[in-house]
Structure 1
């Protein structure tokens, strides 16, 4: 039995986590396709600094339930949990004596729909996520669901929550930087 895997707090991967690769070559499997959707997914991989071994997970994460039965809803559940865990871990790493209410608030605020939708919008998810006609791709629940699914997809692809936490924080930093 191996030792338990803890989420990365300050941008370092678990020793068994796959290295994040932000090189342009990292997204070549998707970029080789002529599909505009695949080209957008390749650009997203470059932006988040993570190259998927299983591009189907990325495709699924950017597919809303209104579009297909093969969508990112289950991945979003994992992504929410990984995001909340990353935020709670960071809160406790910053203050080990923090009251439970402060840790809970930090997790809720960092992974909540408002922060999630803002980060997803700044990452360009509304232009990427596939939705059915009549569903607004820029609606906060759609954008947030896709971002959470993306974080969950990273966790499944990598086999740990460490890389998912890194992508979550990278998206938060990109969002905060764009807001300035």
Structure 2
């Protein structure tokens, strides 16, 4: 999938040491398979990936368990990744590619300038932290609920009915807030 090569090359560009390390493998072709996507590229003299066809020298296959572990902030193990083809090449490239890190702050500074970029990054980090805390809280509550011996496990219909009721309550609160806003405007006019 050559449409992803520019994204990978952008990551490589943001990590100059990894770019230099990749340049040592000029001419080698690598293929990645992850979550149903296959990305293949030939490593150029500058360390960037170029579109390539045919057999790859090495193929690094990430099993679904890799994604699950990464989403849970766990380190994937040996059984989560398979290397086909040139095993030594795959083992040499795997730490280079897995070490690529995205620097959103650099892109924000480039697009909006340093001050605006810093402000956007700060706000985005605050939102990320809030969402993370909410997710952890929900996970903890579900975990506590499921450990209670008398806690029933709801079926799909019960859960759907509960979700519909929450949606109805949310809509009712929104309508009530709109009425209160109108009433407040009418009082002050």
Please classify the TM superposition score into its range, dividing by the shorter chain length: under 0.3
Higher Rg: 2
- Where relative contact order (Cα < 8 A, 6+ residues apart) is larger, the structure is 1
More strand by share: 2
